Structure formats: structure tokens, C-alpha cells
Chains A and B, each alone.
Chain A
């Protein structure tokens, strides 16, 4: 049974993980110091979701992949210059804040509305992908709320693998406790998958794919709908960096035998 899908990947931008991050409290609540200056990347788990979507699209001819991204328009444009070279997709951009201190429920409302407004959306072919968490808010709650707003009750989180069975059903491997995977069989779309790392390596940059993608990315950025996320009802009492600094005892001049003995004694305590 050959099925083509409509895959919407929800994914936003996060500060490059190698950057030093420092919180500041402004008039509208917490943010990152120099947030607009920090280099950004597509969220790591959302990236995996995008690569998995492209992989599935390759195996299911006729499948279309959208990347739905909510973030400051200028930053999105920067990040898309790189992301566009990875896999084919069409961008849907929403112009709004993408920081970790935004409210998941409000983000979910904006994303769900954008998905519902995709022309020709066919629920019987719809797969909504995203990262199971983000590297900013790290809540792991936005996707479920997007799914609820779209009335999708077949939801999976921490997905590492998706297989399409010959009968069109989906076999899904979700991370659970103890390094195990829960295996589920879903009758088919519509379904929502929050991806963990999956099993695919990061695709190499392909300038041709990038050029094709950029033809739709630039218009999408130009017409990005402004979104406000007011953080209604949410108050931050504090946001602090962990200050705990340990007084590390540095052992330089001991033999491996002596160090090993010390470690074994410590393990036994």
C-alpha cells in the first residue's frame, strides 16, 4: 500500500549550544542577555524531526514536508541559510519570540493555527512532527498541545524510529525508562510524533537543495505573520545561573595504582 503524507515539522531556533548564556530580567520578564546577538541554530531535536520527515518523504513519493518555525524573522533567515541546504522543505514562518521563557501553551496555539491554515491540508495524510523537547524551554509539552488543538489523539513522544508497514499502519518506537523503547502500532495518519534523536545522521549540505528551498523560504519570511506571546498568568520569581562551584582537589602526582586504590575505596563508601 503506497501512501503519501503531508508532514508538518514544528521546529524553532535556539542559541548555539556552545554560547555562554546569562539570564536578565527585563520589564517584560526574563530573557537572555544579548539574546538578539547570540548565534542561533535550529533546535537539535527539531532538526532530527526534519531529517526523519525528509527520509520518510523520500520513501513515500508525493509526500510534502513543511517546516513551521516561530522565531524572530531576522534570526530565522540566518538559520535557514544553513538548514535549507540539508533537506527539501517548504517554510512556514511566524515572526515572534523563540526564547525559552515563552509560554508553551501560547506557542502551541500559534503553531496549531498556522497548521490549520495550510491550503489543501488533508487530515487523512497528516503527520505532525517536532522535537519532543527543545533546547530552550525544554518542557516537552508544546507538541501535545498542538496535537490537542488539531484533535490528534494518536501522539507519541521521544520517538527514535518510525516504520511504515505494508498495510499503511505506522510502527513507532518511543523512548521509555531504563533505556527501553515502547513499540506501538498506529492505524495511520493523522498522528503526532515528538522526535528524540532518531537514527539518522545529519545530512551533508547540498547547495542545489538549498537553492531550491530558498525560492520559497524568502517569500515565506517576507509574509511571516507577527505573533505575540504575552505569557499570560505566568510570573517568574527568579531566574539564576547555578553558582555552585566545587573546590576540586587536583591529584597530579600519584601512580595509577594509588589512584585506582583511592577510587575503589571511594566506590565502597
Chain B
């Protein structure tokens, strides 16, 4: 298994469940790492690979739902919740917070493995997205402050002349900036640059003209 092969994290306070899940998941050819509590999981140095978190709802200390809250927004792997007794309010909260699946113990292996697979797939996609964005960001970081000022006007479809007027410079200077932007961002067309700007979350300039 190379470092890119997916890994499944299991957090459950019950060692019997940890043992069983470890065996079951590894039988599906996946790497497994098990943890007895949220804290143990958080301390762990995660490998750079698509992953999935199988998380018990009831945990001593930080509960499953609390851990989910802490992980939101980070690059944490998607979560498959498992619970000793699946009460409806908990499952609703978990799903709203982005859980892949909410399984009541005992659960079917296919359900679990399917949930793990989709979680890993999603993670793989997320990871892809994240790496693309990171690439764009790297390109974006190459832009000078003046070029970053110009970019919103370019992606908003303003002509160089109008942009020059708005920014108080000449049409020719704007043209030079645009060329630099296209080159630094490795954009082959204006349309591609527009999509890049969207991904980077750069809003288009409203312009005065």
C-alpha cells in the first residue's frame, strides 16, 4: 500500500467494537487506525491519503457530535457515525453537520463498507479540490498587489480602457497587467481565468462605468 491508499479511522470507546471493526475494514483491503477517544484521534498525525472517520456517537469526554463540530471546516475526513442506540435527534444533527451516514449498532457490513467507500470517494474528491485550489492559490500568490487589483476587473469583463479609467492609469498599463495575470495564473483563456477567480472566491468588480 502506498501512501495514497485510503485509510479508515475508527473512534469507539469499546475495545470489542474497535477490534471487530478493525478486522472487518481491513478484510475489505483498507488501512485502519483505531482510537478509544476523540482526544487520541486528534493527537494522531494523519497520513496524507484519502480517509474516512468511523465515529461512535457516545464517547467518554468529547462526544462524537462534539468532535464533529470541532472538525467542521478543516480538512478532516468525512464521518460515518455509528451508535449504540440511534436516537432520532442525534442522527438528524449528525447528518445536518455533514455526516456521510448514521448507522445503528449492530449494522450490516455492506452498509458500513459502502458508507466508508463513499466517504473515501468524497474525501478523494475533496482532496482533489483542495489540491487544485492550493495550486490556484500558489499562482495567485505570484501576482503583484496591482495585478490583484486588476484581476477582478478582468474577470468581470471590463475593457482595458475602462479599467484604466477606474484605477487611474492608462489603457496600455492595464494591458500589460492582464498579460502578466494570464501568464502567472497559467490561464489559457479569459473563460478559464474567470473559473479560477470563482474557485478562489474573488468577486468580480462592479466598476463605475
**A and B held together in a complex:** no
